[in-house]
Structure 1
Amino acid sequence: MIKSILFSSKVTGTSLALLVLRVALGLLMITHGWGKFEAYDTLIAKEQFPAIVISVKVSVILAIFAELVCAALVVIGAFTRLATIPLIITMLVAVLLIHAGDPIGQKELAILYLVGFIALFIMGPGKFSIDQLVKK
């Protein structure tokens, strides 16, 4: 009975999978953002963030914004595709700059987040989201 309710259509199954992906990725990313938020002064003082085009301070602020605000939007499914863009950029920076010289084991978490956020960008939030409620 539960199987017939949850998986009554391919759309429902896909939307349920997208809900699980959104909530898992978003909540786990929030834990990263919260850690950066708490260590803000230390991150700026140690200059552990890249300052290629922008300053270290701006880089840290953008990473915290992506990992807290954008991740929260992904969890609830609001502005999902738009919210994944800063997260994708942040994970690209993590993979290509911060962990550039590290072995794959050090990069794999950022790669997994990157792939998940790209999938959400492509697929959208699914029908169990704020985006879908607004669309109706």
Structure 2
Amino acid sequence: MSTKFKLLSSQPAFVDLSLLLVRLAAGGFMFTHGFGKLQKLVNGSFEFGDPIGLGPEISLGLTVFAEILCAFFILIGLFTRVAAIPLIITMLVAVFIVHDGDAFGKKELGLFYLVNYLVLFLSGSGKYSVDKLILKK
């Protein structure tokens, strides 16, 4: 293939590099987003919303699990598809329950995260990941 048309192809190297970038951004940014919630949990401050009726303590715990642990797994590419599931659920709750009546601008970031986690769930972690090292495929 001619050099000038390589950017128009979807070569596997570009796909794997793209998945790495999506994982680093979606995992890393969410990890920092959840850090304040982790501090609340560690400090015993359970003032948190209860959007689906589980109680504020459980809601905070599940959110911290998703936004810290699952986001870290996404970041390094470990159990990527499984780790994406709690993050997808968290973003669905955030966008369609917590911010249901809000303007699109309030939902936009949650929707963006949701799409990224759906992509990672469907595609997996790619070549540059711990999953790849473990599976050795």
Secondary structure in 1 aligned to 2:78? coil
Identity %: 45
Gaps of 5+ in 2: none
1:29-68 maps to which residues of 2 (within 5 A)? 29-40=30-41, 41-42=44-45, 44-45=46-47, 47-52=48-53, 54-68=54-68
If the length of structure 1 is used for normalisation, what is the TM-score? 0.87
Q: Size of the alignment, in residue pairs? A: 127
**Structure 1 residue 39 displacement after superposition:** 2.9
**Structure 1 residue 71 displacement after superposition:** 0.3
Q: Distance in 2 between matches of 1:51 and 1:37?
A: 20
Aligned AA for 1:25? A
Aligned AA for 2:134? V
Gaps of 5+ in 1: none
1:1-136 maps to which residues of 2 (within 5 A)? 10-40=11-41, 41-42=44-45, 44-45=46-47, 47-52=48-53, 54-136=54-136
Q: Distance in 1 between matches of 2:52 and 2:126?
A: 36
CA RMSD, 1 decimal: 1.7
Q: Distance in 1 between matches of 2:61 and 2:120?
A: 23
Runs of at least 4 residues off by over 4 Å:
none
Q: Distance in 2 between matches of 1:116 and 1:51?
A: 23
**Structure 1 residue 98 displacement after superposition:** 0.6
Q: Distance in 1 between matches of 2:49 and 2:130?
A: 36
**Structure 1 residue 11 displacement after superposition:** 1.1
